[in-house]
Amino acid sequence: MSGSCYGHLERCFGGRGGDKLSWHVDLKPHASGDYSIAAVQANSSLEDQAQVLTTSSATYVGVYDGHGGPEASRFIARSLFPFLHKLASEHGGVSSEVIKKAFETIEEEFLRFVRQSWPGRPEIASMGSCCLVGVISSNVLYVANLGDSRAVLGQRVSEKNVNGAVVAERLSTDHNVCAEEIRKEVEALHPDDSGVVVNTRGVWRIKGIIQVSRSIGDFYLKRPEFNQWGPAIPLRRPLMTAEPSIVIRELKKNDLFLIFASDGLWEHLTDETAVEIVSKNPQAGIAKRLVRAALQEAAKKREIRFDDIKKIKKGIRRHFHDDISVVVVFLAHSRDSRSSRVVRQDIYDSTSVPVDISSHNADEADC
């Protein structure tokens, strides 16, 4: 844990640097370490959302990569953590059952919201979101995932050698039918539909429409009542699911940090590259550094300068890269973090990416 965050408050505030579509918080404390968060907007409306909720007993991390529009990811950002924290408190702590119940409830609540909005906004039935959640409680890590956002652990090879190599370990499953394992999983759920996953112009998609197989929302591919929106596809059963894959592990002393990010980051950086960047640079501003590294790679692929990509307007910029959200969580492994941090028993602090970075930064500039 870096105690300098308390002495230098400017490191705890968000900013945008030289990119009007970027936002970051350099470093803030959580229950068992520090974290850094950053995002960049490419779409006309920001479809990514990310947040960190810190309580005296747990740290909650969420990355929600929306598609078809921003409503699903925004709904999750408003609703999931308050309900998950409340549910954990009522059931004596976090568990896989508590997390599954929270995901199930958010899917049901978003369905209710879509039904209410459907008459005036039928397109809302095509909106959905990947949902990646990490919870650290009592030195145990829970990672729950829908879609292809990803959680990666940075782990030192040897506990004894503090200068030893740091390696990457992927903790989540990419629920994307571009992976053969996921294609087989979807095909097994639809044995009577040989065309449930098709290759369109070199890319595998469910019904030629969507790559991810699990999400919140996307009810036009789950519920016959919304099948009027988009391509007419007879639904014998839901084509997608909202049941998360969950990984549980006890954190070890050589587990150094966690990277949670939307696929906008992983399109340009490998797990190993991201872990190397985090392990070899200062903690403050590390999430912003990862976003910058991804943008530099995106610029190289399009054969333009990095400084030029920052000048491209939202919407048009989506042709160069996706929305990107990153949270890096450092692990202090303190058995009693409250004694070293002088944290109140009732601590409850939340940091979220702005609903729309472009509008947020414009408002700041006017102040």
Quickly state the pLDDT bin for 56 (edges 50, 70, 90).
confident
Segment 144-160 shows an average pLDDT of 92
Segment 184-191 shows an average pLDDT of 95
Inter-CA distances, 292 with 118, 168, 269, 325, 338, Å: 38, 20, 11, 11, 34
Segment 150-175 shows an average pLDDT of 89
Contacts (Cβ under 8 Å, ≥6 apart) of 221: 206, 207, 209, 210, 233, 235, 238, 239, 240
* pLDDT value of position 14: 39
Domain ranges of the chain: 4-157+164-176+212-366
* Residue at token pair 């009542």: 225
Pick from 109, 121, 10: which is nearest to 68 by CA? 121
Residue 55 has pLDDT above 80, yes or no: yes
Cα(53)–Cα(61) distance, rounded to whole angstroms?
Answer: 7
* pLDDT value of position 19: 86
* pLDDT value of position 365: 62
Segment 216-228 shows an average pLDDT of 91
Segment 187-198 shows an average pLDDT of 93
Hey, which bits of the chain come out as E strands? 14-15, 22-30, 33-40, 48-55, 58-67, 128-129, 131-137, 140-146, 150-156, 166-170, 197-200, 203-206, 216-217, 245-250, 255-261, 324-330, 348-352
Q: What are phi and psi of 191, to 5 degrees?
A: -65, -20
Q: Are 214 and 242 in contact (CB under 8 A)?
A: yes
* pLDDT value of position 362: 74
Quickly state the pLDDT bin for 158 (edges 50, 70, 90).
confident
Segment 331-347 shows an average pLDDT of 48
Segment 36-56 shows an average pLDDT of 96
pLDDT tens for 315-328 read: 999 999 999 999 99
- The class of domain 4-157+164-176+212-366 in CATH terms is alpha beta
Inter-CA distances, 171 with 100, 132, 150, 181, 331, Å: 17, 11, 8, 16, 15
Segment 294-307 shows an average pLDDT of 94
Q: Note the residue count of the chain.
A: 367
Residue 341 has pLDDT above 90, yes or no: no
Cα(29)–Cα(94) distance, rounded to whole angstroms?
Answer: 21
Q: Are 69 and 127 in contact (CB under 8 A)?
A: yes
* pLDDT value of position 161: 67
Q: What are phi and psi of 235, to 5 degrees?
A: -105, 100
Cα(77)–Cα(350) distance, rounded to whole angstroms?
Answer: 11
Q: Are 258 and 152 in contact (CB under 8 A)?
A: yes
Cα(354)–Cα(325) distance, rounded to whole angstroms?
Answer: 11
* pLDDT value of position 8: 35
Segment 254-277 shows an average pLDDT of 97
Mean pLDDT, the chain, integer: 89
Residue 334 has pLDDT above 50, yes or no: no
Quickly state the pLDDT bin for 236 (edges 50, 70, 90).
confident
Quickly state the pLDDT bin for 286 (edges 50, 70, 90).
very high
Cα(32)–Cα(335) distance, rounded to whole angstroms?
Answer: 9
Residue 361 has pLDDT above 90, yes or no: no
**How do strand 245-250 and strand 14-15 relate by DSSP bridges?**
unpaired
* pLDDT value of position 160: 67
DSSP 52: E
* pLDDT value of position 231: 64
* pLDDT value of position 347: 61
Segment 23-38 shows an average pLDDT of 94
Written as one string, the DSSP assignment of 201-220 is TTEEEETTTBSBSB-EE-GG
Q: Are 118 and 124 in contact (CB under 8 A)?
A: yes
* pLDDT value of position 194: 87
Choose the weakest-confidence range: 84-93, 178-187, 338-347. 338-347
DSSP 104: H
**More confidently predicted of 106 and 333:** 106
